[in-house]
Chains A and B, each alone.
Chain A
């Protein structure tokens, strides 16, 4: 069986080196500004750090993909264009883009820089993907995390572009690139500012019986003592609702848990997927080392026709729990 490509996150140069050393086939990262969807304090790369990181990866046979996957703010398009140009100058192997204006700019002005379509573009059917491939020369599409394995197989039968799917990490089941929950609560979003639930708007307060989590002044969660804590996003919030006169508290949008599709790798390979993506540019080099080495063993075993060794990544999951998400969809 052909070997699946493992695409791994790096929020810092140390994490990039950790990913390459742990067996990443490719590493994705972003510049330290709002051109990428992980624009968090203390994270991301300067131009010089990217060039050094590319050299480190290439010397060890790994690729570097640069995420420029937010949507330009009117009047500030130059920042996104400079990011594309600087990614090519640094020797990046591809740019991961979402906005059609940035895609058009890259195709016209930097045609030798390979173009991948970010999950932020939310291209989830063959017509949309073929449009991006034919119009902007997109070679690979990162599929949204709302598709079943069967739907991914159906897409792959009708497109020429490669597909990349998420297999581990934070799970976002919204229409990515179009979610306005963070923007509604804070005025900033992953789509324009590059950060979902920006840290500057997050407040944790320890009260007598619970840890209270607030985002933009809204209470998202009250975690009892020692109970697992979620990310501070509205979609993982625990809210009180009334149904049929009965009041109950629940995770209205989605439960706080991570995606782990390790056991689905054979199915994803059979569905025609080219690359597997690990989420987590905001995570530490310890996370990167552990997750990348675990999935590299699984990918190698699959290629050799051996059963994948069991992973032990539960402790790294949000809420300490994992799901196969939409790949094994039991809802509609």
Chain B
């Protein structure tokens, strides 16, 4: 399991580079990944229940972007927004923390309650919706690299598989959970 005390921030130059990406250009890629996630993980939607139609603000505090996510299988949407204009409105629940902590949660490398006890992450708004999202994601055993690759067809899926050893090495070097965690470490 990842060390809860060590969530390295996104290096400043990399965060700056990410911040240069125009949010409208990110939209199609993010949308495809979200749709692939909901299509391939129907249990995730079932676990969200009534909370699937709510809007979640995912707030990586060391990035210049935040993400508004609506995991509604009928009308899924994900939207990147620049942080410099302040946090956007129109969300039900917010989860905030360093990107490495949020990746650790998504990939099952860290425990959400423990991050909450230690104040590495914070939540706000509709607590029930945030708890449902946390539990649904933990059960879904997501792997963002695989999902991203599979969202763009078979060629990209092969590329994703080829990139796995590199991502695993980068994860070991940085201590960031870039891939799905497998069992006790």
Contacts and interface: CB of A to CB of B under 8 A. Distances in A.
B156 interface: no
B128 interface: yes
Contacts of A316: 111, 113-114
B24 interface: no
B169 interface: no
Contacts of B183: 18, 21-22, 289
B108 A285 contact: yes
Contact of B110 (A11, A41, A286): A286
Interface string A271-299: 00000000000111111011011000000
Contact of A41 (B49, B124, B184): B49
A223 B118 CA distance: 11
Interface in A25-57: 40-43, 46
Contacts of A292: 184
Given A204-B123, A228-B117, A286 B1 contact: yes
B131 A205 contact: no
Contacts of B105: 284
Interface residues of B, number: 42
B26 to A, nearest CB: 27
Nearest to A257: B117
B55 to A, nearest CB: 16
Interface stretch (B72-80, B132-140, B157-165): B132-140
Nearest to A289: B184
A320 B108 contact: no
Contact of B128 (A11, A200, A293): A200
Contact of B133 (A14, A42, A206, A286): A42
Interface string A176-213: 00000000000000000000001110111110000100
B144 to A, nearest CB: 16
A12 B139 contact: yes
Contact of B131 (A41, A315, A319, A320): A41
Nearest to A321: B117
B124 A204 contact: yes
Given A15-B139, A284-B112, A286-B181, A211 B131 contact: no
A318 B118 CA distance: 9
B5 interface: yes
B108 A284 contact: yes
A13 interface: yes
A96 B108 CA distance: 28
B104 to A, nearest CB: 8
Interface string B88-118: 0000000000000000010011111110111
Contacts of A228: 117-119
Interface in A122-146: none
A18 B141 CA distance: 11
B1 A320 contact: no
A230 interface: yes
B136 A200 contact: no
A202 B125 CA distance: 9
B184 A22 contact: yes
A293 B184 contact: yes
A97 B117 CA distance: 31
Nearest to A41: B132
A315 B118 contact: yes
A1 interface: no
A22 B183 CA distance: 7
A211 B113 CA distance: 16
Q: Which 8 A-B pairs have the closest CB atoms?
A: A42-B135, A41-B132, A42-B132, A12-B139, A199-B128, A287-B111, A289-B184, A293-B184
Given A42-B131, A200-B128, A284-B108, 19 more contacts: A12-B47, A12-B135, A14-B138, A14-B139, A14-B141, A42-B51, A42-B135, A42-B136, A200-B127, A204-B127, A227-B119, A286-B108, A286-B110, A286-B111, A289-B1, A289-B184, A315-B5, A316-B113, A320-B118
30 contacts: A11-B135, A12-B135, A12-B138, A41-B49, A41-B51, A42-B47, A42-B49, A43-B135, A46-B46, A200-B128, A204-B123, A205-B124, A228-B117, A282-B135, A283-B113, A284-B108, A284-B111, A284-B112, A285-B108, A285-B138, A285-B139, A289-B1, A289-B183, A292-B184, A315-B4, A316-B111, A316-B113, A316-B114, A318-B113, A320-B117
Interface of B: 1-5, 46-49, 51, 105, 108-114, 116-119, 122-124, 127-136, 138-141, 181, 183-184
